[in-house]
Amino acid sequence: MNASPALSPTVPPRRSRAGGLLLLLLLLLVVAAAGVFGWRYWQHQQVQSAALAEQQRQALDANVAGLRTAQQAQGKRLQQAEATNRVLRDELLGIGQRAALLEDSITRIADPDRNSAQALRLDELELLLGIGQQRLQLASDLDGARRALALAAPLLAGIDDPAYLNLRQTLAQEQAALDALGIDPRIHANALLDVLAKELQDMPTAMTQVSDQQSPWYERLLDRIVRVQPTAGAGLRERADREAALAAMQVELSLARAAVERRDDAGVATALDRITAWLQKLQPSKLALDRKRIDELKAITLKVDAPLSGSTLQQLRALRGQ
């Protein structure tokens, strides 16, 4: 009975140490399983968060696209509304113009005598304006065009129709444009040609006789044998040659006058060049004075440029066409 109690204290410690190791191993397994489960759960949560963010982004993109579509549709509606308003405004203006035309037509029908007199005045006015335009375009006749417009102004002033108020202003502008051109360049050119012709008539025909009378007797005697003259001042000295040259210049002056009458700038320049060549042979010492007048003649533009010519006639025909 004493031997069994002595063996009992040694067995329990061995069982408790093995149970502790087993419990520790189980605890480690539980912790490892919990870690693996937590890591997988965290990964699953991250995937779900990324999918949710992608869905939200797609939803936002869809909302933005819808807003842009709605904005474009709203812009198209605004453009259509603006076009509709423009069409309505044009239609209202057209209705107002038609009403004014109807009122004018009724007024003309109510007063046939006044309408016929006005039509006669307009026909006469159109005739005068057409004459003025043709005189200016075909012959560059400034004075004729001015007289035609001056005759047309009282006729237009006698028409009390309000529709022709702007026509009066146009006629006044065309008259002012013609007055601003000054005198006819053909008149100026003819005046310069007259001065040049007078100088050519006063030119001596016997240059040798004048020089012989002023030189001594021995120089006149030697001049019959030997004649010395610089090449730069060489010219026609014999009476017959000078008379022929003067006659040729008179012909060239006639050609220049004819070119001035037909407003041929090139023809005038050609005739003046030939006159310059004859003057070089007749009196080279005085060529500078004549050349200045010839250059002034060449600088004149014979053709008249009037940009507003015919504007009154064009507007009158447009009004009568309406």
* Cα four-point dihedral sign 258, 262, 263, 264: negative
CB count within 10 Å of CB 140 equals: 19
Higher pLDDT, 64 or 140: 64
pLDDT band at 137 (very low <50, low <70, confident <90, very high): confident
Which tokens go with 122? 């307009």
Which amino acid type is present at position 276?
Answer: T
| 6-9 contacts, C-beta under 8 A, 24 or more apart | none
Predicted confidence (pLDDT) at residue 15 exceeds the cutoff of 70? no
**Per-residue pLDDT tens digits for 220-235:** 666 666 555 544 444 5
Which amino acid type is present at position 86?
Answer: R
The whole-angstrom separation of Cα 98 and Cα 179 is 39
Q: Which residue bears the tokens 């605890």?
A: 27
**C-alpha separations of 148 from 167, 181, 304 in Å:** 16, 16, 17
The whole-angstrom separation of Cα 196 and Cα 290 is 8
**Per-residue pLDDT tens digits for 166-212:** 888 888 888 888 877 777 777 778 888 888 888 777 665 544 444 44
pTM of this structure: 0.41
SS (H, E, C) 173-228: HHHHHHHHCCCCHHHHHHHHHHHHHHHHHCCCCCHHHHHHHHCCHHHHHHHHHCCC
> Minimum mean pLDDT among 25-39, 95-109, 161-175, 290-304: which range?
290-304
Q: What pLDDT is recorded for position 111?
A: 56
Q: What is the mean pLDDT of residues 102-130?
A: 75
Percent of the chain whose pLDDT exceeds 70: 77
Can you give the residue ranges of every domain in the chain? 112-182, 185-224+234-299
**C-alpha separations of 175 from 129, 135, 142, 146, 155 in Å:** 11, 14, 11, 7, 15
Q: What is the mean pLDDT of residues 253-274?
A: 83
The whole-angstrom separation of Cα 149 and Cα 174 is 8
**C-alpha separations of 13 from 20, 23, 26 in Å:** 11, 15, 20
Predicted confidence (pLDDT) at residue 106 exceeds the cutoff of 80? no
Ramachandran assignment for 188, one of left (phi > 0), alpha (psi -120 to 50 degrees), beta (any other): alpha
The whole-angstrom separation of Cα 188 and Cα 142 is 13
Q: What pLDDT is recorded for position 143?
A: 81
Q: What is the mean pLDDT of residues 297-317?
A: 76
Which tokens go with 178? 């013609």
Q: What pLDDT is recorded for position 254?
A: 85
Q: What pLDDT is recorded for position 285?
A: 55
The whole-angstrom separation of Cα 62 and Cα 58 is 6
The whole-angstrom separation of Cα 125 and Cα 148 is 10
Burial grade of 219 (CB within 10 A; 0-12, 13-18, 19 or more): exposed
Q: What is the mean pLDDT of residues 280-286?
A: 66
Q: What pLDDT is recorded for position 270?
A: 86
Q: What is the mean pLDDT of residues 301-322?
A: 76
- Most confident listed range (71-80, 105-114, 115-124): 71-80
Q: What is the mean pLDDT of residues 274-302?
A: 72
Residue 141 — φ and ψ, nearest 5°?
Answer: -90, 100
The whole-angstrom separation of Cα 111 and Cα 215 is 94
